[in-house]
């Protein structure tokens, strides 16, 4: 069971993500980011790469795709809030996106 991030962990691990383009979701303990790619196929390649890693992590994003845009929200359902798994997945998502943007 993933534990909710402590205040210290939020300061240390969440802050770099928020500085790098992620934002706190309103109304829930989650982070969100929108990515705009050059085409639908690039957006889908991004989603495919993230999906494979998410499955390996057993930790999955909540996301919405329309054409070249992908909106991603990360939170841990098991603890109804942000856990270290969300931090790890966000970092992976940024690595995948940086290769496609």
**Interacting residue ranges for ligand HBI, rule: CB under 6 A:** 58-60, 76-78
Quote the least distance from Cβ 33 to ligand HBI, whole Å.
Answer: 15
Residue 6: CB minimum distance to ligand HBI, A: 18
Specify the DSSP element, H or E, that contains 31.
strand 31-36
- Least separation in angstroms between residue 101's CB and ligand HBI is 23
Residue with smaller CB distance to ligand HBI, 38 or 62: 62
- Pick 3 or 101: Cβ nearer ligand HBI: 3
CB-based contacts of 12, cutoff 8 Å, min separation 6: none
Give the residue with the Cβ less far from ligand HBI, 61 or 97.
Answer: 61
Burial grade of 100 (CB within 10 A; 0-12, 13-18, 19 or more): middle
What is the separation of C-alpha 83 from the centre of its chain, rounded to a whole number of angstroms? 12
């Amino acid at each position: 069971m993933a534990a909710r991030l402590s205040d210290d962990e939020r300061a240390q691990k969440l802050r770099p993500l928020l500085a790098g383009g992620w934002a706190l979701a309103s109304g829930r303990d989650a982070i969100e980011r929108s990515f705009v790619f050059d085409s639908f196929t690039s957006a889908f390649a991004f989603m495919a790469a993230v999906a494979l890693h998410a499955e390996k992590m057993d930790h999955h994003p909540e996301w919405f795709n329309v054409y070249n845009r992908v909106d991603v929200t990360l939170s841990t359902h098991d603890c109804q809030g942000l856990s270290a798994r969300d931090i790890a997945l966000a970092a992976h998502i940024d690595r995948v996106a940086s290769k496609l943007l």
